[in-house]
Homo-oligomer: A and B are copies of this chain.
Amino acid sequence: MSTPNRGDARKERILEVALKTFADNGFRGASIAEIADRCGLSQPGLLHHFPSKAALLAGVLEYRDRLDAERLGTDEQPRGPLALHQLVRAVEHNTQVPGLVRLFTVVTAEAVAADHPAHDWAVARYRHLEAWITRALDAGIADGTIRPGIDAVAVARQIMAMMDGLQLQWLLDPENIDMATLFRTHIEELLARIAVAAAD
């Protein structure tokens, strides 16, 4: 990670506060005034960095994706079954951050409207994750841990759909829906079908 200069540090502080505010109240429920107040800034001071609530949302989503990418690591991508186990751990981690999961779920659904400020972000995010999973499956085919002949792109899309759909049910009814276990068993059953040898 590069060392931020003073302007970057202030921007990062704003993004941290905005992230928490959006996660607590959703995009619609959050106000620029509240975020500026929590940052110790005037509204014009905040709007100097981000000209609108939509721009601030876009900034938060990009910032959050960057943090996730740093956590996942970018140099060595896990291959084959290991990558799918990493997704299981990501879902387990998500059960600890319901506000953040809620932010992503609500904003992504709102973003199906082509004129939503997060539309392009959402489309790009799916393409990025799809490519990550597809590369992992292709690498698994290459190293003999995943059966050849599977449709890796289709499997990637189905895995992402399962993650999103379980998140939605869990957010609606967290007492009853064990998102982490439901996702883990789905991945285990998927691997029973597409993996050449058990990976764990």
Interface residues of A (CB under 8 A from B): 26, 28-29, 102, 105-106, 108-113, 119, 122-123, 126, 151, 154, 157-158, 160-166, 168-169, 171-173, 177, 181-182, 185-186, 189, 193
Instruction: Kindly identify which residue among B102, B163, B186 contacts A112, using a CB–CB cutoff of 8 Å.
Output: B102
Bound-state Cα–Cα, A157 to B167, Å = 11
**Which residues of chain B have C-beta atoms less than 8 A from A105's C-beta?**
109, 112
Count of identical protomers in the assembly:
2
B173 and A158 contact, CB distance less than 8 A: no
- Report which of B26, B111, B158, B171 forms a contact with A186, defined as CB distance below 8 A: B158
Q: B173 and A161: CB pair below 8 A?
A: no
With A102-B112, A109-B105, A110-B106: A165-B160 Cβ-Cβ less than 8 Å: yes
Closest to A127 in B: B173
Selected from B113, B123, B165, the residue in CB contact (under 8 A) with A173 is B123
